[in-house]
Amino acid sequence: MATVKIILRKNYQKKDGSYPITLRITKDRKARFIFTGEYIQEKDWDAEKGLAKTSHKNSKRLNNFLLKKLSEAHNIALDVETNDSEKTVKNIKTMIVNDRNTNFFNVADMYLGALNKRQKFHQENNDRGRLNIFKTYLGKSALDFKDLDQDLLEKFKNHLSFDLKRSERTVVNYMILIRTIYNLAISKSIVDRNLYPFGRGQVQIKIPESEKIGLNREEIKLLENIKEITPAQQHALNVWLFSFYFAGIRVGDVLKLRWSDFKDGRLYYRMGKNKKLVSLKVPNKAQAILERYAQERVKRSDLVFSDLKTVDFSDQKYLTTRVKTITRNFNRRLELIGEKLEIDKKLSMHIARHSFGNISGDKIPIQMLQKLYRHSSITTTVNYQQNFMHQETDEALDKVINF
């Protein structure tokens, strides 16, 4: 016999610290959960009764709603079991879910809560912003999955492209987000897979090739020898060059480097993106930058670059926000430097990685580039580096037209 109980699901947590209230269906020691769409603070929840405490400002109305949902779920579970005792807990959940309204944005909250719990704060902020734009377009904060069809998605894509002037890649990011949330709803039996609006003959998601353009040797030399720039601009440039000299270390990793990460002329650090441990020789040009900052060093545990000096690294959310802000400031200063040197390319922190790829071109074996880029798969390296490998195609073109 299946049992249904109202519980607080602590796997997910909203930004305000509240948790989702769910129906838990259990049969044969297997459990499934149904999101009610309601959230509550733990201090206002009576776990034994499965109801809100009187300390909750809307406890009476909320409890009436929950008891109604519990009664409906009990009745459906009983009907299912009476008609087919072999039905699994998943079947029972599907029957209950299909009997009630399903809100896309409730599942979106669950998705954002999971990102927060995994400390994917940068992604959480970006996706929350995209969802807010989707809500603004709809003009409401509730959307039933049955209304989230191909027609709506195509209209939203047009709105992003033509009204908001978003790039093709940005529009794809919105569609990927909506598809991810839809897949989460399917996995939790909140929506029937037959309603799925993505795939062949419906909304197809094709990631456009991105243009990756790096600086060349002459442009790097201009940066290395520039004079008469502000101390703030010079600092941003130092961080940029330091990243470039180490094969394009991501700015977030550069800012977290400590003097203790350098031993016997080598850099040892763990990548923030995939937690890989990396060891690289310290090039002479990078050593020269280190020596400029050595006078600020007091102890080996100090940061090489002091931009994050006052940040508590245990507060990952704030740390992510600070790195994003610092990077934005760096990019503004780099843009001014690029204008001063008349470099006709966008100069930003991320282009340091592209510049290393551009200069290495097809001169370095792809297996070695994989090590330098710290890619897990050589396929990733091939796909990345093909943006900068032009020699063979250039020679082929010359053979045809030079007559």
Structural Rg of the chain based on CA atoms: 27
Residue whose entry in the numeric block shows the structure tokens 């699901």: 9
Are residues 23 and 73 in contact, defined by beta-carbon separation less than 8 angstroms? yes
The larger pLDDT score, comparing residue 64 to residue 92, is at 64
First to last CA, the chain: 84
The larger pLDDT score, comparing residue 14 to residue 249, is at 249
pLDDT at 396 (0 to 100):
60
Kindly tell me if the per-residue pLDDT of 317 is higher than 50.
Answer: yes
Residue whose entry in the numeric block shows the structure tokens 């704060």: 121
Global pTM reads 0.61
Beta pairing partners, 46: 51
Q: Residues of the chain with pLDDT > 90: what percent?
A: 48
Kindly tell me if the per-residue pLDDT of 390 is higher than 60.
Answer: no
Tell me which amino acid residue 64 is.
N
Q: 268-273: long-range contacts at Cβ-Cβ below 8 A with a sequence spacing of 24 or more? A: 271/374
Q: How many CB atoms lie within 10 A of CB 21?
A: 23
Kindly tell me if the per-residue pLDDT of 89 is higher than 80.
Answer: no
Element (H, E) at 23: strand 19-27
Kindly tell me if the per-residue pLDDT of 207 is higher than 60.
Answer: yes
Mean pLDDT confidence for 191-213: 83
pLDDT at 401 (0 to 100):
57
Q: Any idea what DSSP says for residue 160?
A: I
Are residues 304 and 293 in contact, defined by beta-carbon separation less than 8 angstroms? yes
Mean pLDDT confidence for 52-63: 91
Beta pairing partners, 259: none
Upper half-sphere CA count for residue 133 (Cβ side, 13 Å): 20
Q: Give per-residue pLDDT as tens, 148-201.
A: 999 999 999 999 999 999 999 899 999 999 999 999 988 877 777 778 999 988
Kindly tell me if the per-residue pLDDT of 398 is higher than 90.
Answer: no
Beta pairing partners, 7: 22
What topology does CATH give the domain 105-195?
DNA polymerase; domain 1 (1.10.150)
Kindly tell me if the per-residue pLDDT of 313 is higher than 80.
Answer: yes
pLDDT at 127 (0 to 100):
96
The larger pLDDT score, comparing residue 289 to residue 396, is at 289
Query: Nearest to residue 34, comparing CAs of 112, 98, 115?
Result: 98
The larger pLDDT score, comparing residue 247 to residue 157, is at 157
Pinpoint the alpha helices (H) of 256-315: 284-293
Rounded CA separation 238/245 (Å):
10
Strand, helix or coil for residue 214: coil
The larger pLDDT score, comparing residue 275 to residue 122, is at 122
Rounded CA separation 374/371 (Å):
5
pLDDT at 97 (0 to 100):
54
pLDDT at 99 (0 to 100):
47
Pinpoint the alpha helices (H) of 45-101: 59-83, 89-97
Range(s) within the chain of domains with CATH label 1.10.443.10? 217-353
Kindly tell me if the per-residue pLDDT of 372 is higher than 80.
Answer: no
Q: Which CATH architecture has domain 217-353?
A: Orthogonal Bundle (1.10)
Mean pLDDT confidence for 228-257: 93
Q: 263-270: long-range contacts at Cβ-Cβ below 8 A with a sequence spacing of 24 or more? A: none
Q: What Å distances lie between residue 129 and 18, 174, 177, 338, CA to CA? A: 20, 10, 11, 30
Complete DSSP assignment for 132-158? HHHHHHHTSS--BGGG--HHHHHHHHH
Range name among 23-32, 57-66, 206-215, 322-331 with the lowest pLDDT average = 206-215
